[in-house]
Amino acid sequence: MSDIVKEDLGQKIVAMIKTIFDPEIPVDIYELGLIYDVFVNQDTDVKVLMTLTSPNCPVAETLPMEVEEKIRSIEEVRNAEVEITFDPTWTQDMMSEEAKLELGFL
């Protein structure tokens, strides 16, 4: 896979992730800073390293599955896997400027 194709796929993945919103906060999970990294290998398998706003998040079971399903729906993606981590712990500082503005933190 060329770097251009990989970059294009990365942009599609981010765009898809931006369609997923935290149920308690009206901001998408990408802008909230819940996505720590996205890895795409040569076989177009995708691994997403993400966190939740708290370990007791009410969508802890369903949100990672939603992320996997949405990413798998991208034609070029062969498989998707989400790994949840709490290291580092999520804080409001991880939100984008757009999210902070939307939530009135700026």
Sorted by where each begins, the domain ranges of the chain are 3-92
Please give the pLDDT value at position 26.
85
Q: Which of 38, 30, 42, 34 is nearest to 2 (CA)?
A: 42
Cis, peptide link before residue 88, omega less than 30° from 0: yes
The mean pLDDT of 4-18, rounded to a whole number, is 89
Beta carbons of 96 and 33 less than 8 angstroms apart = yes
| pLDDT at residue 75 is higher than 80 | yes
Please give the pLDDT value at position 76.
94
CATH number (3.40.50.10420, 3.30.300.130, 1.10.940.10, 2.40.160.20) of 3-92 reads: 3.30.300.130
Query: What would the pLDDT profile of 19-73 be if each residue is shown by its tens digit?
Result: 999 888 889 999 999 999 999 999 999 999 999 988 888 888 899 999 999 999 9
The answer to whether the predicted template modeling score (pTM) of the entire model surpasses 0.75 is: yes
Orientation angle between helical segments 62-72 and 3-17, nearest 10 degrees: 140
